[in-house]
């Protein structure tokens, strides 16, 4: 993955903040504003649905920025780790999806589970990539 297609390193922190903010919005929505509706003229505006959508957008945007921001040192080895991690995240995501299809027999439940697969490729990628970088740094320290 060429570095020219990556966001600046500082945007990773912004992504992490957006991701955490998404959890705050979701928690507030669930605990305090659950099922509250505000009347606006002759239509009903569903705050619960709007906050749910905002939380999802914050999670996707935050994960996207964290996943595709440059590292402090972005070299060919990091690019290879990034590519390997992306490939493994897709493998893992579809393996989990196949297991869900095989073991969840109710269609409406499966749709709810499938909706979470919006986040999982990015999440799996970030975890695998950061773990690979951690192992690389640890092996470099052990050789010194």
Per residue in 46-93, pLDDT (tens digit) is 677 788 889 999 999 999 999 999 999 889 999 999 999 999 999 999
Output 44 or 136, whichever has higher pLDDT. Answer: 136
Q: How far apart are the first and last CA of the chain?
A: 29
Kindly report which listed range (11-25, 37-51, 108-122) carries the lowest average pLDDT score. Answer: 37-51
What percent of the chain stands above pLDDT 90?
53
Residue 42 DSSP label: T
User: Which residues touch 29 (CB under 8 Å, ≥6 apart)?
Assistant: 47, 48, 51, 52, 55
How far is 123 from 22, CA to CA, in rounded Å?
A: 14
Element housing 39 (H / E): strand 37-40
Going 126 to 94 to 6 to 3, the CA torsion angle's sign is positive
What is the pTM (predicted TM-score) of this model? 0.81
User: Are the C-beta atoms of 16 and 63 separated by less than 8 Å?
Assistant: no
Q: Domain ranges for the chain, please list them.
A: 1-70, 72-144
List, for residues 26-50, the tens digit of each pLDDT value.
Answer: 888 887 665 555 555 555 566 777 8
Nearest to 125 by CA among 77, 74, 75, 65: 65
**pLDDT for residue 119:** 87
pLDDT at 13: 96
Q: Residue 21 pLDDT > 60, yes or no?
A: yes
Of residues 108 and 137, which shows the higher confidence score?
A: 137
């Amino acid at each position: 993955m060429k570095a020219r297609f990556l966001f600046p390193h500082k945007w990773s922190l912004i992504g992490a903040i957006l991701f955490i903010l998404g959890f705050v919005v979701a928690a507030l929505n669930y605990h305090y504003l659950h099922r509250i509706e505000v009347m606006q003229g002759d239509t009903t505006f569903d705050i619960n649905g709007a906050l749910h959508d905002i939380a999802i957008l914050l999670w996707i945007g935050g994960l996207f920025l964290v996943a595709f921001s440059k590292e402090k040192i972005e070299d060919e080895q990091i690019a290879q780790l990034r590519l390997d991690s992306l490939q493994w995240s897709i493998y893992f995501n579809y393996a989990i999806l196949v297991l869900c299809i095989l073991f969840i027999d109710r269609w409406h439940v499966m749709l709810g589970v499938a909706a979470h697969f919006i986040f999982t490729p990015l999440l799996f990628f970030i975890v695998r990539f950061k773990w690979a970088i951690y192992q690389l740094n640890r092996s470099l320290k052990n050789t010194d």
